[in-house]
Structure 1
Amino acid sequence: MPMPRPVSRLRSPVGLGRAAAALLGIVIAADLFAIYAGFKLYDVTGDLVDGASGSAVFGRANAAESLDSLAGKAQSGSMLVCVIVYLSWFVLVRGNAGVFDPAEQSMKPWWAVVGWFVPLLNFWYPRRITLEIWDASSPVGTRRPHLLVNVWWTLWILSLLVDRVSYLEYGQDAGSIQAAAGQSMIFDALHVAAAALAILVVLRLTRMQHEKALAGPGIPVGL
């Protein structure tokens, strides 16, 4: 007789979920700082476009550029750390979903990481994986609405598109810099909204898996 296959164990998503939510909050703070810096840059470049000159306006321009550069570094640093922790959490909840309902998972586990970085595929693969995790983590016999995930993903995609447009707008003259600053503020605002909804997605999905693990008989739980 063939030996029985070992049953996969669940892992608690609570710790990583809280860490990911906290880091998303830091990303929001960095984005808000970037919006402030972007407004300063937009304002002073507007003065330059209108013909203002002199040491005072050029000093403001230099200060605004320095502040905008600092904000960009804050965004990059916070986003890097957040991505590492978020993907760790995402891989964990994908593994749990494979225990809850293997048939619900149409993609290999490694797509939970790779799917975010493959061009074009990253516009829908992460959403698809998230929805499959969401459905597998719902109480047995039920399906919770996907509205939260869909709105979050829509804002995330919009922020990426606006970011690309702002990059194309960038130039060396004051008018181009002002246009790019305006686009960047729109991107940052969308990113704040997307990150806020991402926090809700993380906390909701973490709670769903935790509650299902505690309530589901017959599933070995490593909590």
Structure 2
Amino acid sequence: MPCSQCEHRSTTSAGAPCPACTGQAAAAAPAAPAAPVTTLTPTPAPPPGVVGSGVLRSPVGLGRAAMILLLLVAVAYIARITAELNMRRLVAGVLDDGFVAVSEADAAFAELMLNWAETIRGNLLLATMVVFIIWFHRVRCNAGVFATDWFTNGTGMAIGSWFIPIGNLWIPRRVAVETWTASRADHLAGSRHQPTTLLNIWWTGWVATLLLSAFAAWRGSRAETADEMLAAVDLMVAADAVAVVAAVLAILFVRRLTHMQHTKAVALSQTPRTV
């Protein structure tokens, strides 16, 4: 029978197109558009230490170094107290029995002992201040990642505030309080949640050490008689005793704040992030 389309002879049934026409029609027909394939791309996990738009840096190593140095400073203050008490003994001997009761060798040894104790204490204190301020700046930067726009000053004040005359009696404490608050598990919680009691006690001891030491040095520079020297030595012993307490409190402060930041950083890194 002839093809219904090309009218050529074909073996197809009547009215049906031949195989050639059937193939051409299939080739000319447009292909149906493929159904869109939806793929879900998982959100990559943030790199370790990244929270929000900031990067956390561990304060643990610096905190340990600061605590060790603070402990050595406390020991150095105790050594200076020992030297001061020895000097006081000699001064009291002068008051009781006159200069004849104090030998020249004893006086020279007491002075040498006091000088060595002061030199060691001064060097250790300088090294401790450097490490402590670096640690203080580190925890301040971390706290800015924990709570953005929480601070009244930039991170530079964690360093510069210690060198502002008179202002260093309270500005570093304000930085410390804001850093402590931002480092809490919930920085929006009330003051009863991880209160700043330890921080306040440490800061009180630190300021008391500064003021009492300055007053003792002033009295010592003006001492002329044995009685005045004895009173100045008593003030120096009291100031150094307060300094030992302040150093121990500083160790506890560094340990606590470092632990708070480490715990919060670990908790944030384990929190799933949603898109």
Verify: 1:193 aligned to 2:239, yes or no. no
**SS of the residue aligned with 2:265?**
helix
Tell me the residue number matched to 1:83: 129
Shift of 1:86: 0.6
Distance in structure 2 (CA, Å) of the matches to 1:74 and 1:209? 33
Asked whether the equivalents of residues 93 and 102 of structure 2 are also in contact (C-alpha less than 8 Å), the reply is no
Tell me the residue number matched to 1:3: none
Letter of the structure 2 residue corresponding to residue 210 of structure 1? H
After superposition, the C-alpha distances for 1:84-115 in whole angstroms (9 at most, x for unaligned) are 11111011000001100122211121111111
Tell me the residue number matched to 2:85: 39
Shift of 1:25: 0.3
Deviates more, 1:53-62 or 1:188-197: 53-62
Verify: 1:151 aligned to 2:183, yes or no. no
Distance in structure 2 (CA, Å) of the matches to 1:112 and 1:172? 42
Deviates more, 1:155-164 or 1:47-56: 47-56
**SS of the residue aligned with 2:152?**
coil
Distance in structure 2 (CA, Å) of the matches to 1:56 and 1:180? 19
> TM-score under structure 2 normalisation?
0.74
Task: Tell me: higher relative CO, structure 1 or 2? Use CA pairs within 8 A at least 6 residues apart.
Answer: 1
Shift of 1:168: 1.2
Within the candidate set 259, 264, 271, 1:207 is matched to 259
Distance in structure 2 (CA, Å) of the matches to 1:66 and 1:173? 21
Which of these two proteins has the greater Rg computed from alpha carbons? 2
Identity of aligned residues (%): 36
Within the candidate set 112, 115, 122, 2:158 is matched to 112
Residues 153 and 82 (structure 1 numbering): CA distance in 2 closer, same or farther, change over 3 Å? same
- Equivalent residue pairs, number: 214
Letter of the structure 1 residue corresponding to residue 100 of structure 2? G
Asked whether the equivalents of residues 44 and 57 of structure 1 are also in contact (C-alpha less than 8 Å), the reply is no
Distance in structure 2 (CA, Å) of the matches to 1:18 and 1:88? 12
Distance in structure 2 (CA, Å) of the matches to 1:45 and 1:59? 14
Which structure dedicates a bigger proportion of its chain to helix? 1
Distance in structure 2 (CA, Å) of the matches to 1:125 and 1:56? 47
Distance in structure 1 (CA, Å) of the matches to 2:127 and 2:159? 15
Distance in structure 2 (CA, Å) of the matches to 1:215 and 1:41? 54
Letter of the structure 2 residue corresponding to residue 198 of structure 1? A
Distance in structure 2 (CA, Å) of the matches to 1:60 and 1:178? 17
Deviates more, 1:56-65 or 1:202-211: 56-65
Shift of 1:181: 1.5
Distance in structure 2 (CA, Å) of the matches to 1:174 and 1:218? 66
User: Aligned runs of 1:164-203 on 2, under 5 Å?
Assistant: 164-170=214-220, 171-203=223-255
> TM-score under structure 1 normalisation?
0.90
User: Aligned runs of 1:44-123 on 2, under 5 Å?
Assistant: 44-54=90-100, 56-123=102-169
Shift of 1:149: 0.5
Residues 14 and 96 (structure 1 numbering): CA distance in 2 closer, same or farther, change over 3 Å? same
Residues 63 and 34 (structure 1 numbering): CA distance in 2 closer, same or farther, change over 3 Å? same
Distance in structure 2 (CA, Å) of the matches to 1:181 and 1:56? 17
Letter of the structure 2 residue corresponding to residue 16 of structure 1? L
Structure 2: segments with no counterpart, 5+ residues: 1-51
Deviates more, 1:200-209 or 1:61-70: 61-70
